[in-house]
Amino acid sequence: MYSFRVSTLSSPTSTPDLISDHPAASWRVRAPWLAAIALALVPVMFTAGASATAQLSGASEAGAALILAAGAAVSAILGLVVMRLSPPRVRDFGFRRPRRARAALWFIPAAATVLIILGTQGVRVDAPTIAAYGVLVVAVALNEETWFRGIVFAILRARSTRTAVVGTSVLFGVLHLANLAGGADVGSSILQVAFAALFGLVAAQLLVLTGSLWPAIAWHAAWNFVSFIGGDSTDSRSLVGIGAACVAMLGYAVLLGRRTPSRTDGAATTDAPALP
């Protein structure tokens, strides 16, 4: 999403059957917060490099999207390599089929937020640009979910699930301040930080509840896609749609938060001194 607690994370004592029987990985390292921040910066740096390349090359909108997609793809591959070389298995980071979709209301609220944006913004770019954005959003979603809800989440989850959910959400939001380097104004950047943190909160909760990154990856890609093809519009109708989507997302966060465990109970915990 670089182109652009709201809930009580209590232990689900009344609904234990709703929690995934495939909990996400927990990766113990020395100085976990330092490691988490350092690793969270990796996709940001790749995005910044690709963005600079696109600007310097004078590429068209579609061309710039493909350059950004290439940078995100390389970053995602690097993230998968880190996962492969780490003690937890890649599938334990969340690359597996989601379970317990009922706990997440079959992802209907997430899909609703995408439809709201599509309905209020419409399509405002040409066909070649739509195709380029299709490639971009898949690469970006894989990249950011691999690093934030995959690697960084696993490191912080060694402390507690609540720490991982809140910590990755805050990092995901704050690092969207990188948009300032791309020329975004301060006001819109601050709003995007808040939105990204809320999105990150729900994405992390979905990971805990389903044991899978795929729901968040699909939602992330779909949200970015409808935003991009709508031209990231800020007219009155679009702003109403964004507001409505955020309200829906906030309600979803509250619901999921009540079903999200706060500890690492049952997590696939692996000790490793590999990271400083």
How confident is the prediction along the chain (276 residues), in pLDDT tens digits per residue?
544 322 223 333 333 444 555 667 899 999 999 999 999 999 999 999 999 999 999 999 999 999 999 999 999 999 999 999 999 999 999 999 999 888 889 899 999 999 999 999 999 999 999 999 999 999 999 999 999 999 999 999 999 999 999 999 999 999 988 877 666 677 778 889 999 999 999 999 999 999 999 999 999 999 999 999 998 777 889 889 999 999 999 999 999 998 877 665 445 555 443 333
Domain ranges of the chain: 24-264
Cβ neighbors of 96 (< 8 A, separation 6 or more) are: 22, 211, 212, 214
Q: Where are the beta strands (DSSP E) in 79-188?
A: none
pTM: 0.87
| Phi, psi for residue 28 in degrees, rounded to 5 | -85, 125
Length of the chain: 276
Q: Which of 68, 87, 212 is nearest to 143 (CA)?
A: 68
One-character DSSP codes across 34-94:
HHHHHHHHHHHHHHHHHHHHHHHHT--HHHHHHHHHHHHHHHHHHHHHHHHHSSS-GGGGT
